[in-house]
C-alpha cells in the first residue's frame, strides 16, 4: 500500500481521535488535557498505534490511559463511522511523554542560561 495513503489516513485518524476523545467520550476519568501526538498504522491499515500525551499526575495519566483502553471498542466504531475503510483498524493506546520531556528540557536550559548570565555579571564585576 502507498506510504502516502497510509500517512493521509493516519492524519485523518489523528484529527478524528482528538474530536472523539475530547467531545464524545463523557467519562470523567479522561483528563481534559489529553492530546493525540501520533498515529502509526500498519501497512495493511488493520492496526493503529495511538500515542497520547496526558497532562496531570502519574495516577491521572494511568487512569486516563486505562479508560481509553477500555473505550477502544467505542473509539474504533466511531472511527469506522467517520472514515470509510475496508477494515477498521484495531487500536492500541500508548502513553507519550515527549511533550512533558520537552518542557523539562526547556526548563533546564532556561535555568542554565540564567546561571550563565549570573556568572558573566560576576566576572565583569571582578
The share of the chain scoring above pLDDT 70, in percent, equals: 94
- Name the DSSP class of 47: E
Q: What is the pLDDT of residue 125?
A: 66
Q: Would you list the DSSP string of 60-122?
A: HHHHHHHHHHHTHHHHHHHHHHHS--SSPPEEEEEE--HHHHHHHHHHHHHHHHHHHHHHHHH
Quote the pTM value.
0.78
> What pLDDT is stored for residue 88 in this prediction?
92
CATH code of 88's domain: 3.30.300.20
Residue 115 backbone phi and psi in degrees, to 5: -65, -40
- Whether 73 shows a pLDDT value over 70: the answer reads yes
Whether 20 and 79 share a structural domain: yes
Cell 496531570, residue located: 56
Would you place residue 11 in the very low, low, confident or very high pLDDT band (cuts 50, 70, 90)? Answer: very high
Domain span at residue 107? 98-126
Are 85 and 123 members of one domain? no
Do both 87 and 27 map to the same domain?
yes
- Assess whether 35 and 19 both reside in one domain: yes
| Total domains present in the chain | 2
90 and 109 share a domain?
Answer: no
Amino acid at each position: 500500500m502507498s506510504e502516502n495513503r497510509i500517512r493521509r489516513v493516519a492524519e485523518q485518524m489523528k484529527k478524528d481521535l482528538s474530536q472523539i476523545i475530547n467531545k464524545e467520550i463523557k467519562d470523567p476519568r479522561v483528563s481534559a488535557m489529553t492530546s493525540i501526538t501520533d498515529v502509526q498504522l500498519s501497512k495493511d491499515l488493520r492496526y493503529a498505534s495511538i500515542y497520547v500525551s496526558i497532562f496531570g499526575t502519574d495516577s491521572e495519566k494511568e487512569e486516563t490511559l486505562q479508560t481509553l483502553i477500555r473505550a477502544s471498542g467505542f473509539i474504533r466504531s466511531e472511527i469506522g463511522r467517520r472514515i470509510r475503510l475496508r477494515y477498521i483498524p484495531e487500536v492500541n493506546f500508548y502513553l507519550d511523554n515527549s511533550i512533558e520531556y520537552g518542557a523539562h528540557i526547556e526548563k533546564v536550559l532556561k535555568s542554565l542560561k540564567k546561571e550563565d548570565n549570573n556568572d558573566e555579571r560576576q566576572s565583569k564585576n571582578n
